Amino acid sequence: MARSSTINGPAVAGVKKTPTLDRYLVWVVLTLSAIGVVAVYSAISFLAETKAGGDTSRFLILHVAKIVLALVAMLVVSRIDYRVIAKFAKLGLIVSLGLLMLVKVVGVASGGASRWLQLGTFVFQPSDLARVALVVYLAVLLVRKQEYIKSFKRAFVPLFLWTLATVALIGMEDLSTAALLLVSAVAMCFVGRVSTLHIAGLGVACATLATILLLMSPGRAARVEAFVGMKIFPHTSEEQVFNDQSEGYQAKQARIAFALGGLTGVGPGKSVQKVFLPAPYNDFIFAVFAEEYGVIGAFILLLLFVVVLFRGMLRVARGAIDPLGLLMAVGLTTMLVLYGFVHAGVSSGLFPVTGLPMPFVSYGGSAMVANGIIVGLLLSISRYRMVERAM
């Protein structure tokens, strides 16, 4: 069995199935999870006081349980051939889109957004399933349509419709996740040789959709205006945009956390800003971590995501045995790393407030399990690698 050196190039390599998983990815995930347990334990005191009478151990146990669930999902998926999983990608995406539409009817609202579905005591975000399913199914479509990948009707239209439908349904309540999913899809299309003009058209269409969604939501629009420091949209109020206790409050408190942390931090568990930051255990866990461990600690944490980037792109994607594995690895790695970097950018004031969790570090939920599945897929792809030899 052989794979071409490029999608349509000559065969130059053989295939070897490795008996073990990519140990670097595994160790990075375990390290991020351990950091998350320590950071969440420090940041969760306010949540414990307001919802559990000061019992931090209850939420810590829940967080650890979700980490274990994510690691189990990662291990199980890693043992399944990614090509088998890809066969069910379309079904998974259709189910995901159905669940996203169901959220609009019976979704559970929290923080001003209705993103969750509740099944008994279990609450999850269908968008987490949809983002994984879309990446895998786009990889399948890109491989199937390589012979006529430059065709607008036969290749681009199906890619465009599935991407736009998923991004639109997610973006109605979670514009930031939709944006990162779009970037991942664009990266896959670029690697998959889709016409640059067609990719630009996808970007324009989604930018137009984002503008419409901002016009439909004064809260989202106000966040963007608070970030740029000026009024842009007609349906927001100056009080909402420029009030220190309104949209700009979260970003301001996060910057204070960085200032207090300095180079080496104030010390484990000694964060002051966790009292003032909304959801310090989730949306702003990086700010709390930077306050307690300083710029040095924050840099080390980001370095772990750089390792994921290099392993995912240079080891897993580059060594994949077929275009399907290559494209899946590109999309999944892009999405996972973007989550980490954008979360850090929000916490440091480089991006508007989004509410994105930091993978394996923020307080657990369905996003934690989805990230476990993503890494599991990368590990599955890495089990088969290219061996350079003449054919």
Which tens digit of pLDDT belongs to each residue from 11-57?
344 555 555 678 899 999 999 999 999 998 888 876 666 555 566 77
Mean pLDDT of 276-299: 89
Q: Which spans in the chain are helix H?
A: 23-43, 45-51, 56-78, 82-86, 89-106, 126-144, 157-171, 175-191, 196-216, 218-228, 238-242, 249-261, 285-310, 323-347, 366-382
Provide Rg for the chain, Cα atoms. 21
pLDDT score, position 231: 65
Residues 65-122 pLDDT 10s: 999 999 999 999 999 999 999 999 999 999 999 988 888 877 666 655 667 677 766 7
Query: Judging by beta carbons within 10 Å of its beta carbon (0-12, 13-18, 19+), is residue 120 exposed, middle or buried?
Result: exposed
- % of the chain exceeding 90 in pLDDT: 43
The DSSP symbol for 317 reads: I
pLDDT score, position 191: 93
Q: Rounded to an integer, what distance in angstroms lies between the CA atom of residue 336 and that of residue 181?
A: 10
139 vs 271, higher pLDDT: 139
Domain ranges for the chain, please list them.
Answer: 3-388
Mean pLDDT of 290-312: 95
The DSSP symbol for 273 reads: G
> For residue 27, what are the contacts with CB-CB under 8 A and spacing of at least 6?
none
pLDDT score, position 391: 36
Backbone phi, then psi, for 15, in 5-degree steps?
Answer: -120, 140
Mean pLDDT of 210-218: 74
Six-digit token pair at 320?
Answer: 């994949």
Mean pLDDT of 247-275: 82
Per-residue pLDDT band for 8 (boundaries 50, 70, 90) equals very low
Residues 135-190 pLDDT 10s: 999 999 999 999 999 998 888 899 999 998 999 888 887 888 888 999 999 999 99
pLDDT score, position 325: 94
Q: Rounded to an integer, what distance in angstroms lies between the CA atom of residue 29 and that of residue 308?
A: 9
Q: Rounded to an integer, what distance in angstroms lies between the CA atom of residue 33 and that of residue 182?
A: 26
- % of the chain exceeding 70 in pLDDT: 79
pLDDT score, position 360: 94
**Is the pLDDT assigned to residue 1 strictly greater than 70?**
no
Mean pLDDT taken over the chain: 83
Given a contact cutoff of 8 angstroms between Cβ atoms, the answer to whether 344 and 361 are in contact is no
Handedness of CA 370, 372, 373, 374 (dihedral sign): positive
Given a contact cutoff of 8 angstroms between Cβ atoms, the answer to whether 290 and 273 are in contact is no
State the pTM of this model: 0.87
Q: Rounded to an integer, what distance in angstroms lies between the CA atom of residue 219 and that of residue 2?
A: 52
